[in-house]
Amino acid sequence: MKEYHSFEFKLNDVSDNGQFQGYAAVFGNVDLGNDVVEPGAFEQSLRDTGGGKIPILDHHNPARQIGWNLEAREDGIGLFVRGQLDLNVQAARERHSLMKLATQVGGRTGLSIGFQTLSDAPDPEDFKIRRLKEVRLMEYSLVTFPMNPEAGVTRIKVEPSPPLEDSLHTLLTHLRVG
């Protein structure tokens, strides 16, 4: 059975290359589905997928793949991801545009993981809460309504500025021509 969990993110920098990074999952907090992802839950899945080379979908729709994840790793916060939207795909361009608009208006966009539970346990203090010990990460999606408000994209990659010498050369060339 495939499961889905969503996480909010705020975008700080926007460019047109389609890359972004952030947290697809955060450890230790109870999400709106009463699940808590435990540190180490993704370790085997990351090994099995070559460091998290999984598809990025639009709202968990497998017919709407919009990119590929480039890197994933667990750290002290959660599951860090770096993804690449395929801006040749119309749905990816639309999602990217909405991500940029969210940044401009101070809004938030969501991330959501699609996974299969391999090992879980009830929380010892609250039987309604499930602790996810090991999951098989299948995909993650850009979504409108996230399940976990503590995770999300922290940055959309900005193209590096040209070296100072290139900028000065361009300026001097422009001044000579003008």
Burial class (CB in 10 A: 0-12, 13-18, 19+), 120: middle
Say what percent of the chain tops pLDDT 90: 58
Q: Which are the contacts of 93, defined by CB distance < 8 A and separation ≥ 6?
A: 87
Q: How far is CA 85 from CA 68, 89, 151, 169, in A?
A: 7, 8, 19, 33
For 164, the enclosing helix (H) or strand (E) is: helix 164-177
Give the span between the Cα atoms of 74 and 48, in whole angstroms.
Answer: 14
> How many structural domains does the chain have?
1
One-character DSSP codes across 44-107: HHHHHTTTT--EEEETTEEEEEEEEEEEEEE-SSEEEEEEEE-TTSHHHHHHHHHHHHHHHHT-
Q: Which domain holds residue 173?
A: 3-177
Give pLDDT, residue 156.
Answer: 64
pLDDT tens digits, residue range 9-35?
544 444 578 998 888 999 999 999 999
Q: What is the pTM of this model?
A: 0.80
DSSP letter (8 states) at residue 161: P
**Stretch (H or E) spanning 165:** helix 164-177
**pLDDT band (50, 70, 90) for residue 7:** low
Residue-wise pLDDT for 117-176, tens only, equals: 999 999 999 999 999 999 999 999 998 877 876 656 666 654 443 444 444 444 344 444
